[in-house]
Structure 1
Amino acid sequence: MKNVLGLFKRGGRSNGTPDGGDSLMFSTAFMEQGLDAGMLVPWDARAVEIGARRIGASQGGKLLRSLWSKDRFMSRLSPEAMERMERFFEYASVPPDRDVIRQDEYSNFMVVLLSGSVAVDRVQPWGEHVRLAEARPGDILGEMSLLDSGSRFSHCITLTECEIAVMDPQALDEMMTNDPGLAASLIGLLARKLSLRLRAVSARVTESGR
């Protein structure tokens, strides 16, 4: 989270770029980690690797709106704001038993599960495999790495065929440039959801290590 806060502080000037151009706050966050761009696993590469199949934006957007309208945090976005947000996502279908996210890798996309089930696992430093959760439709995965391009905390594998919505840092930067109010609302809501989830995961991991 310190990396994220640092990005916001630096991004306060000129939309995140020295010359006042389009925001590149999130698509260049990996540079803050001292990483070479070749170390990152972008969504386009992962999609090919796992055999993801693109689905229509109208179908995916409808699912996203329906799920988020029932979420106690994301439902704070107005219907009009949700409709504007749809275009910043890509939508895909993923077969079962595919690694959407891998623990400890560097990647920078966020996934919203639209249908199906995803296991969220972690291998502890002492070798124990822990099932942290089973994500259900509407759940968000990987938002921390979208914000700071840091390494992944857990491993996310599809248990069934899944439909997902994906946001990459280029799309988030585009939102910040073209619809900054919407971007601020999204980032604030993600931060609240992330904080609650980290507290729950921390408690579970601590308990399993006793």
Structure 2
Amino acid sequence: MELHPDLVYLGGADQYEEEIFEIIEDIKLFEAFSLDEVRTLCQLMHCYAAPKGITLLKEGDAGDYLILILTGNVEVTKTIPSGEVKLISQVGVGATLGEMSMIDGCPRFASCVTVLPTDFAVLTRETLNDVLLQMPRLGNKLLLTLLQTMSIRLREAIVESKVDLSSGLYVASL
């Protein structure tokens, strides 16, 4: 896992449990989890601080981790074939980013850049695999939640892209 050199390591997410519990209703990833399960996941994640303008995830890079936004805002952008960079979305507290690459091992689909100073937690693929092996109930619950998040985003992207599902033709650009 390679992170931007301007990031400041804040320590384990378990050191920020109180802050995480204060914003837990905003964290979709934790919606189906008990406080004890969230506490366990916090013990497995690490927190970082990023100033404004830092690329947290870069389109095309390898990705073996996801990030959970704890404070701040992040723009998600995609470079289209013409070379133009298009804004996909802007996300804030509670959003997860990078789960697709963490799960499928493919290069990052989009770039994510901080628009405000941003604190975030990191969950690695290795940690997810360890949880699946050592705590299968929690690991499977986490994996299912990540897959549900990806499914929702895929459905939204299809609707927004105006793909003609009957012909398979793409009728609009990003």
Give yes or no for TM over 0.5.
yes
Structure having the higher helix fraction is 1
Structure 2 match to 1:37: none
Q: 1:75: Cα distance to partner? A: 1.6
2:130 aligned with 1:174, yes or no?
Answer: yes
Q: 1:83 aligns with which of 33, 39, 47?
A: 39
With over 3 angstroms needed to count, the CA separation of the structure-2 counterparts of 1:194 and 1:63, relative to structure 1, is farther
Amino acid at match of 1:50: P
Structure 2 match to 1:50: 5
Across the aligned residues of Structure 1 and Structure 2, the Cα RMSD in angstroms comes to 2.0
Q: 1:98: Cα distance to partner? A: 0.7
Number of positions where the alignment pairs a residue of Structure 1 with one of Structure 2: 165
Q: Partners in 2 of 1:185 and 1:65 — Cα distance?
A: 19
What SS is found at the alignment partner of 2:70? strand
- Superposed CA deviations along residues 118-139 of structure 1, whole A, max 9, x for unmatched, are 0000111233321111111000
Q: 1:73: Cα distance to partner? A: 6.0
Q: 1:98 aligns with which of 54, 57, 82?
A: 54
Equivalent residues of 1:50, 1:99 under 8 A apart: no
Q: 1:60: Cα distance to partner? A: 3.1
- Superposed CA deviations along residues 72-108 of structure 1, whole A, max 9, x for unmatched, are 5632111111111111111111111111101111121
Q: Partners in 2 of 1:66 and 1:178 — Cα distance?
A: 28
Amino acid at match of 2:106: G
Question: Residues 120-139 of structure 1 correspond to what in structure 2 (within 5 A)?
Answer: 120-139=76-95
Equivalent residues of 2:28, 2:94 under 8 A apart: no
Identity %: 20
Amino acid at match of 1:167: L
- Superposed CA deviations along residues 36-68 of structure 1, whole A, max 9, x for unmatched, are xxxxxx2xx21xx33111214344333334434
Q: Partners in 2 of 1:141 and 1:129 — Cα distance?
A: 18
Q: Partners in 2 of 1:205 and 1:97 — Cα distance?
A: 28
For structure 1, the 5+ residue unaligned runs are 1-41
Q: 1:196: Cα distance to partner? A: 0.8
* TM-score, with structure 2 as normaliser: 0.85
For structure 2, the 5+ residue unaligned runs are 163-170
Structure having the higher strand fraction is 2
Q: Partners in 2 of 1:73 and 1:93 — Cα distance?
A: 20
* TM-score, with structure 1 as normaliser: 0.71
Equivalent residues of 2:57, 2:111 under 8 A apart: yes
Equivalent residues of 2:69, 2:96 under 8 A apart: yes
Q: Partners in 2 of 1:200 and 1:83 — Cα distance?
A: 31
